[in-house]
Amino acid sequence: MPETSEKKTIFSGIQPTGVFTLGNYIGAIRNWGPLQDEYNCIYSIVDMHAITVRQEPAKLRQNTLQAYALLLACGIDPKRSIAFIQSHNPNHAELSWILSCSTQFGELSRMTQFKAKSQQHADDINAGLFTYPVLMAADILAYNADLVPIGADQKQHLELARNIAGRFNQKYGDFFTVPEPFIPKAGARVMSLQDPAKKMSKSDENPNACIFILDDKDTIIRKFKRAVTDSDAEVCYREGKDGINNLMTIYSVMTGKSLDEITSEFSGKGYGDFKLAVGEAVADHLEPVRTEFSKLVKDKDYLKECYTAGAEAAGRITRKTLSKVYRKVGFVDAR
């Protein structure tokens, strides 16, 4: 990727806390590949974010490598984008410290994800969990990213990153690009298959609530067959039909069909036929990802070559940002 060009810059990240879900895929990663032609894209497996909740070290290492292979399997081309592992570029953590001095305690306290995770992990409400959004702001601002493709649940964090950038610019003079969120119109919030009032999440205790993108076809179809819906039998998108609305959104994204087209396709048919069709569409869509992943994950040398080159390219950009930031805040030049 050329480091100086007129193209706008995209940054996004994903945590390596297990196999990506259909929510991660539809809300975020699916959109990352197609952006590679038009933008300078930088994508990261954010392992430093992952340790804000307890991780088993050996498992985290394995999950991080697996997540990197999955990223490539989902169409991120390490020759066209910068794809790297966050901890390989220490500049994120360094910038995070500086930015934390332009972030208010009160605004971090208002983060809904912090409140939710504090409840989920009540025995480990560590400072990293609290300052997590500052590290996320550093991820983005270190590259002066213009756009950040994310699902709806990250919107509040992005808003905070914008505020931090604005505050820094006010204190020290215009410097950071204030990033815009890039949230898909359909599928920004894929819901749990077992409780459609909750978002689909890796950490759901019910394995039927969540589709993992490496699930095999039978598993995917079985989970969709068990999806919680409602007691009428009309496939149409309407308030109060959260389960069906979720399945229709998923089917629409997978097939490119509009909600009206889906309603006509299933008029007169029952939910059973519809759920089967959704399951098949998802499984067929994900099949090439699974195939590509199984090839890539075996090739550890290739993966290493890619993530090493990615971290070098990322570091070249962020070192420049960081040295300008150090100068702006008044640190003495090291040499």
Mind telling me the catalytic residues?
Answer: 117, 199, 202
Interaction of residue 27 with ligand TYM, rule CB under 6 A? yes
How far is the first Cα of the chain from the last one, in angstroms, to the nearest whole number?
30
Give the residue from 257, 139, 133, 245 showing the smallest Cα distance to 192: 245
Give the residue from 210, 163, 161, 166 showing the smallest Cα distance to 190: 210
**Binding positions for ligand TYM, 174-233, rule CB under 6 A:** 188-190, 199-200
C-alpha to C-alpha distance for 259 and 271, rounded to whole angstroms: 15
Site string for ligand TYM, 49-68 (x = CB under 6 A): x-------------------
Q: Among 154, 194, 246, 252, indicate the residue that binds ligand TYM (CB under 6 A).
A: 154
CA–CA–CA angle 95, 79, 84 (5° rounding): 30
Q: Choose the binding region for ligand TYM from 9-17, 114-122, 284-292, 324-332 (rule: CB under 6 A).
A: 9-17
**Binding positions for ligand TYM, 270-299, rule CB under 6 A:** none
Amino acid identity at 322: L
What is the bridge-based pairing of β-strands 82-85 and 40-45?
Answer: parallel
CB 264 to ligand TYM: min, Å: 26
Interaction of residue 136 with ligand TYM, rule CB under 6 A? yes
Q: Choose the binding region for ligand TYM from 61-69, 133-141, 232-240, 248-256 (rule: CB under 6 A).
A: 133-141
Edge-first strand order for the sheet with 180-182 is 82-85, 40-45, 9-14, 147-149, 180-182
- Cβ neighbours, 10 Å, residue 181: 18
Nearer to ligand TYM, 88 or 189 (CB): 189
Residues found near ligand TYM in the complex (CB under 6 A): 11-15, 23-24, 26-28, 46, 49, 136, 139-140, 148, 150-151, 153-154, 157, 188-190, 199-200
